[in-house]
Every structure is written in structure tokens, then in C-alpha cells.
Structure 1
Amino acid sequence: MTTKQLYDELNYVNHSREKRLKYANLLLNNTNLVPKTLDILFMVDDKISCRAAWIMEFMCSEQLDAIIPHLDYFTKNIKKVHFDSAVRPVAKICEYLAKAYYAKTDNAIKQALTNTHKERIIEVCFDYMITDEKIAPKAYSMNTLFLFGQDYAWIHPELALILERDYHIQSSGFKARARHILKKIKNS
């Protein structure tokens, strides 16, 4: 399947779990489609990019290791994504990567995720925290940043500062997650 054919096929993707799972499985069964999907995801001014983001997130939730060969490309370009419905899945993929990296069990992400990858993820997560993003990307970013704060001592104080500063102006969902993360920071 060419990138153009995949692009056309993404017109049939919607928010339904069934469709996202169908296309995530298509990627998992045809790994040569993953870089093509990322190419479409990073066509950031095209609404179809959001659909590519949805299936990338679903693929990563099913088999995170499938993104390993593309971590450099993914982390280099995530800062360009700006549509709300593409930012949310990108932030979720970043959270998946952080959770896998800090998992108690050994996994391939621990070897594949370089300091450069982590720094790019940290940068985009802080961008999500300080810009006018919706609650979901902020919530995923809080968790991602908390996890990476285990290796980067400067993250927890910066994150706590942002959470405390924005606490009173944010939604109840933000406040609930912020309380949880602030409690974890104080206990770590």
C-alpha cells in the first residue's frame, strides 16, 4: 500500500474502537505502513493527520514495541502537531513510552529510548503544560513528566510550579490529576 492509498484509507477511520483497532492491526500486520502513517501524522495542517494519530495511538496501546524503529522520527516531529485531536494521541503515546521505560519488568523500550528521545518528549510535554491545550494532553503530560523526573532532578520542581500556578484556573479534571501528581512529587 502506498502512502497515498493509506491516506485515502484513513478517510474511513472514525472514533469508534472497532475502526481504530482495525487500522491499528493493519499497521501491526504490515509494519512497512508505520512510517507511512507517521508521514501522514506529521502532515500537521491536514485534518487526516488526526486519524493517523488515532491509529498510531491504538497501535502503541496494542504493541508499543512497533514504534521502536521510528522513535527518532516520532520524537523529532511531535512538537509540530497542533490539532487538538492529534495532540491528545501524541501525548498518550509519550505517556506509554514513559510508563514502559519506568516499568519494573524489562522491555525493549528501556534499551531503545535514548536521552535525546526523552529530552524531546519532555520538551513537548512541558509545551502542552504551559500552552492552551485541553485537559487530556495536560493529564498525560503530567504523568509523563513525573516519570521522567525520576532521572532529571529539575523536572519535579518545574512541574510542581506549573501545577500550583495553573491549579485555580483549570478544570476539575486538571485539578484532580494535579493533586495526584503533586502528592506523588512530595512523596518522592
Structure 2
Amino acid sequence: MTSEQLYKEISNISALRENRLRYANMVLNDMTLFPKLIDILFMVDDKVSCRAAWVFEFVCTKYIYAIIPYLDHFTTHLKSIHLDSAVRPVAKVCELIATTYYSKTPNTLQKALSPSHRELIVEACFDWMISDQKVAPKAYSMQTLFLLGKDNGWIHDELALILEQDFQKQSAGFKARAKRILHKIKKNKK
């Protein structure tokens, strides 16, 4: 399947979970489509990029290691994602990367995720935390920042500051996640 054909297929996806799952399975069954999917994902001003992000999230949820050969490209272009429907799934993938990286079970992502990759993810997550994003990307970002902050104390300090400043202005969902993260940060400092 060419990039143009994949673009056309993805442009017809509805938000229904079974549609996203069907296309994710199509990519998982033919991993030559994955770089094409990433290219569509980073057509950031095109609404189809949001649909690509939905499929990308499902692929990475099922097989996070698919992203390893594309970490440079993904992390370098991460900050360019700006459409709401694309930010949420991409923030979720950042959380999946951080969770896998800090897994107690040794894995290939731990070797592949460089300090510069982590730095670019941290930068994007902080941007999502301080910009006018919905709750879900902020929740994924705060978890990602908490995990990546285990090696860099300044990340926890900045995250705690943002969470405390935004606490009263945010939704109940944000407050619940923020409380949990703030508790973990305080516990981690002991």
C-alpha cells in the first residue's frame, strides 16, 4: 500500500473504537505501513493527521516497540502536534514510552531511548501542561513527566509547581490525577 492509499484509507476512519482497532491491526500485520502512518501523523495542519494519531496510539498500545526505529523522527517533530484530536493520542504514546522505559523488566526501549529523546518528550509534555489543552493530554503528560523526572529532580520541581498553580482552575479529573502525582513526588523526595 502506498502512502497515498494509506492516507485515503485513514481519511475515511470514524472515531469508533473498532475502526481504529481494525486499522491498527492492518498496520501491525504490515509494519511497512508504520513509517507511512507516522508521516501522515506529522502532517500537523491536516485533519487526517488526527485520524492517523488514533491509529498510531492503538498500534503503540499493542506494540510499543514499533516506535524504536522512529524515535528520532517522533521526538524531533513531537512539538509540532497541535490539533486537539492528535495531541491526546500522542501524549498517550509518550506515557507508554515512559512507562516502558521505567519498567522493571529489561526491554529494548530502555536501550533505544536516549537522553535527547527523553528531553524532547519532557519539553513537549511541559508545553502541553502549560498550554490550553484538554484534561486527557495533561493527565498523560503529568504521568510522563513524573516518570521521566525520576532521573531529573528539576522535572518534579517544575511539574509540582505547575500542578499547584493550576489546581484550582482545573476540572475534577485534573485535580484527582494532580493530587496523586503530587503525592508521588513528595513520597519520591523522602
TM-score range, shorter chain: over 0.9
2:11 maps to which residue?
11
Which residue identity is paired with 1:133? Q
Which residue identity is paired with 1:19? N
1:61 aligns with 2:56: no
After superposition, give the CA deviation of every residue in 1:27-59 in whole Å (9 maximum; x if it has no partner). 111111111111111111100000000000000
Give 1:107 shift.
1.2
Which residue identity is paired with 1:25? N
Q: Provide the aligned length of Structure 1 versus Structure 2.
A: 188
- Counterpart CA distance in 1 for 2:64 and 2:153 is 27
Moved over 4 A (4+): none
1:133 maps to which residue?
133
- Counterpart CA distance in 1 for 2:11 and 2:84 is 18
Q: Structure 1: which 5+ residue stretches go unaligned?
A: none
Structure 2 matches for 1:102-113, cutoff 5 A?
A: 102-113=102-113
- Counterpart CA distance in 1 for 2:153 and 2:95 is 19
2:31 maps to which residue?
31
Report percent identity of matched pairs. 60
After superposition, give the CA deviation of every residue in 1:98-142 in whole Å (9 maximum; x if it has no partner). 000001111111111111110000000000001000000000000
Q: Secondary structure, in 3 states, of the residue corresponding to 1:105? A: coil
RMSD, aligned α-carbons:
0.7
- Counterpart CA distance in 1 for 2:69 and 2:30 is 14
- Counterpart CA distance in 1 for 2:12 and 2:110 is 35
Q: Secondary structure, in 3 states, of the residue corresponding to 1:106? A: coil
2:175 maps to which residue?
175
2:154 maps to which residue?
154
- Counterpart CA distance in 1 for 2:50 and 2:4 is 16
Give 1:11 shift.
2.2
Between stretches 54-63 and 20-29, larger displacement belongs to: 20-29
Q: Secondary structure, in 3 states, of the residue corresponding to 2:153? A: coil
- Counterpart CA distance in 2 for 1:153 and 1:175 is 22
- Counterpart CA distance in 2 for 1:86 and 1:102 is 25
Which residue identity is paired with 1:168? Q
